Chains A and B, each alone.
Chain A
């Protein structure tokens, strides 16, 4: 069980129990002793005995009277002094307890304040704010600790800046390489088609009609590929805030899969009574990207399974192919942008899936076995 009381509270409680308890016990002993003296004093009586003694002269009487007066006065003074001491002891004890407890709490708070500051600063660092610095004040040990902390946060800040620069540079490099590669791929067939047309125009212009439809088709196809490439990049860049709505995922899945069913074997096992809250456009993008991946990985004749079922308060969507599978080392990078093992593709599809799932508060997982297939699972909170 987690301890609900902090160290500071425990120290204060210990102080109160030990020191104040000790003082109270001491006071009780002291009070008891004084009570004994007080009782003994009350029992001391001289006047009546002295009055009963026969005095032979007026001088004797005066002496006896003086003696009685002195004795009674001394008794009264001691009595009052005792009472005064008992009152004062309790007052002083109360003041000492109040004062010492106050001072102790102030000291403990002052001691624990730098620790609280450190905790707060550490939390900030944990959240990625490396610019946090602590004032180097207080006790020498605390100053040293804060100084070390400030040094650490400055170093972390410098490392973070360097990392950000390096990361940006790497992203730009990767992006440039991918873009160059993806643009170059369609350009080569276009260039070849144009060259063939030029060549035919120079050598045999009448026969140009023989190759014109094929060349135009190649050029159109490759331009379409370039358009799709641009669309992929555009889609990844502009994932908007999700516009969530409640809908039945089974209906949407059937709608989306309908266009694929004519060319590919897709088996559906869908729970019909589920409802989810998700951006419908995002759902379409998630499903089509995963499905396209499964289609690319599958050999013909091997069906793709789409399963939808409810698990506690969640809807679980599984898309499983029986393709070549993904190697274990690649599984970790599969949702990274521009990572692709396919000959065609930008490597943005699954990255987009991950980004859309995150934006809609869902989880996407993948498991794969070489030569057996891959299974993507999307866990969406149900309604």
Chain B
């Protein structure tokens, strides 16, 4: 709880200071269109990330180091967490071929393209499946995205990619009634 509170305070301070004193644009990611599907004993959660991968991201992807976006999914029934899982979408670039590869956890999708715009478009949407327990009835689905700390081997340098999102973790929540399959 304190960690979440701390990260919110940090994000608030960063936003305020950026607003007052910086010309740095960065990204202001937002999670929209959060939805769910309940079928085949699986609960599917989907959504779109807006304004999340502009500005510096093409340069970062082009470094050749695998860059991941992590989605933390949490399902609560009442006050109890009934399921929790993390999914990664990873972009890998091969400088020799100029091909970008996007691997999406959750559905196991794989995309390849030589266009970074194409990759970013695919990266901006997510769709995860999680096994549906029969005991789940009315639940709250919460999803939060974050960027990891990446180690650049050649430079031997570790950087926190959250700076690109100004330390703000986009999140969204939705109430779902799972008693009747949709």
Contact = CB atoms under 8 A, between A and B. Distances in A.
A81 B23 CA distance: 15
B98 A73 contact: no
Contacts of B170: none
Interface in B32-84: 56, 59-60, 62-65
Contact of B24 (A24, A61, A64, A83): A83
B23 A76 contact: no
B81 to A, nearest CB: 32
Contact of B22 (A64, A90, A95): A90
B111 interface: no
B164 to A, nearest CB: 6
B154 A24 contact: no
Interface SS majority for chain A: helix
B180 to A, nearest CB: 47
A86 B157 contact: no
Contacts of A24: 21
A305 to B, nearest CB: 79
B106 interface: no
Interface string B7-39: 000000110111011111010000000000000
Contacts of B155: 73-74, 77
B95 A83 contact: no
Interface string B74-100: 000000000000000000010110100
Interface string A55-76: 0000001001100111011111
A90 B24 contact: yes
A80 B60 contact: yes
Nearest to A71: B95
Q: Interface residues of A toward B: which range?
A: 35 or more
Interface string B140-165: 00000000000011110101110110
B166 interface: yes
Contacts of A95: 13
B63 A72 contact: yes
A80 B56 contact: yes
B163 A76 contact: no
Nearest to B161: A80
Given A65-B96, A72-B62, A77-B155, 6 more contacts: A32-B23, A47-B95, A69-B154, A73-B65, A76-B59, A94-B17
A123 to B, nearest CB: 43
A381 B60 CA distance: 87
Contacts of A42: 59
Contact residue range for chain B?
A: 20 to 34
6 contacts: A35-B23, A72-B64, A87-B17, A87-B22, A89-B21, A90-B14
A31 B26 CA distance: 14
A84 B56 CA distance: 12
A27 interface: yes
Interface of B: 13-14, 16-18, 20-24, 26, 56, 59-60, 62-65, 93, 95-96, 98, 152-155, 157, 159-161, 163-164, 166-167
Nearest to B16: A94
Most buried by A among B14, B59, B157: B59
A69 B152 contact: no
Given A51-B96, A51-B98, A91-B13, A76 B62 contact: yes
A64 B21 contact: no
B17 A31 contact: no
Given A68-B95, A73-B64, A80 B16 contact: no
Interface string A3-41: 000000000000000000000100110011001000001
A142 interface: no
Contacts of B95: 47, 65, 68-69, 72
Contacts of A75: 59, 62-63
A90 B167 CA distance: 13
Contacts of B98: 47-48, 51
B159 A87 contact: no
Closest 3 pairs between A and B when the two form their complex, measured CB to CB: A76-B63, A68-B95, A94-B17
Contacts of A27: 21-22
Given A69-B95, A84-B159, A87-B163, A76 B18 contact: no
B14 A91 contact: yes
Contacts of B153: 73
